[in-house]
Amino acid sequence: MLTLTQLARAELAERLGMPLTNVEAVEHVVMACGAGEPIGPVELSRRLGVTSAAGTQSVNRLVAEGHMTRGPHPRDRRRQVLDVTTSGHEHVMGELGPMLGLIHQASSELTETEREGALRYLQLIAEAYRSFLHPPAPDSPQTRN
């Protein structure tokens, strides 16, 4: 599944005519804004796993193409926050929407019990990834057991 997801993301970037890093940047900004935690260029670079210079270059390109805006942070005017424009969102969703429709169609073939089991499985896998990304400190109660 992870390999197929990576291949689908690469295909999405190709269809959008955008570098994969820019597609990922849009995804990160949309997700952060949706969670009520807007991010700036530095945090975006960290999430993309690129240098600040490379992240800034992606942001500059996305702003120039009209896919993203950057503005002052609401509480810290020294920082910037990023947002995806309506046209940027529509551009990405124009290609992403059909794929999400296929995923929805596939999941609609599950019974409620199967859906609950799949959801539980995915929640556990997500927690495993979080544990890998943020392991407990060596002296925490979780590692003493």
Burial level of 130, CB count in 10 A (0-12/13-18/19+)? Answer: exposed
The confidence band for 39, taking pLDDT boundaries of 50, 70 and 90, is very high
What integer is the mean pLDDT of 41-64?
Answer: 93
Whether the Cβ atoms of residue 52 and residue 45 lie closer than 8 Å to each other: yes
pLDDT, residue 141, reads: 65
Taking 60 as the threshold, does the pLDDT of residue 143 lie above it? no
**Residues 21-32: what's their mean pLDDT?**
92
Q: Please give the pLDDT value at position 145.
A: 54
What count of Cα atoms within 13 Å lies in the side-chain half-sphere of residue 135? 5
Q: Average pLDDT over the chain, rounded to whole?
A: 90
| Residue 121 in this model has a pLDDT that exceeds 90 | yes
State the pLDDT at residue 38.
Answer: 87
Give CA separation, 113 vs 106, 110, 116, 119, 125, in Å.
15, 8, 5, 10, 18
